[in-house]
Amino acid sequence: MVTLSVKADFGDVKKKLNALSSDIQKRVVPAALNKVIAKANTEMARQISSEFNIKQQDVRARLRITRAKRNYERWFARLDPFASSRTGRSLNLVRFLERSVTLAERGRRIKNNSLQDLRFKIKRVGGPKIIKGAFIGNNGRTVFIREGKTRLPIKALSTIDVPQMFNTRRIQGVVLDRVKRDMVIEFDRAIKSALRGYIR
């Protein structure tokens, strides 16, 4: 599992928090962290979907948010991209089957156990990849290929999952930069909101 971890100099934020009473800090910190982590969730889904041929809703289904908690004297919130498979490393290629392959065609290939070449588009940029001998089984849920010339054995064909997609340098950089910006913005907003309520 990959955990979004941010290490940066938030000295100004810390100074503002230290100037507040502990009661106000308890209101400010979780409110700000929860806003930041929610925005990070949206940004991660957007960036992964923009580079890989996967819907934002499918990405979000693999993002687990831990809302702000306090561990002794430290607050934390987490965003964990988790894998769909038990190995934690792959998505089956059926998710990236080229859309021009219709549902009817999928069904025909399943029924006939067809060995026609399938086309996959994993990244949005670039053309599809053809895998000779790949076929769809498991009631349309899995792409397989035979390991030899005989009918069995077969193996499932997989590619990277959401955690590995997030780990690409460009996507990780964009998301972390967004978190750093939002950290300052959301803490300022939370502090102003808490002080307004405190004054009343």
pLDDT tens for each residue of 153-179: 999 999 989 999 998 999 999 999 999
| Section 69-87 average pLDDT | 79
Q: Range with the lowest mean pLDDT among 7-21, 31-45, 86-100?
A: 86-100
According to the model, what pLDDT value does residue 198 have? 61
Model confidence pLDDT, tens digit, residues 115-148: 457 889 999 998 888 888 888 888 888 899 998 8
Distance CA 127, CA 141 (A): 23
| Helical spans, DSSP H, in the chain | 11-18, 22-51, 56-60, 103-112, 162-166, 169-199
Give long-range contacts, CB 8 A cutoff, 24+ apart: 123-128.
123/51, 123/52, 123/53, 124/50, 124/51, 124/52, 124/53, 125/51, 128/98
Q: Which residue has the higher pLDDT, 6 or 86?
A: 6
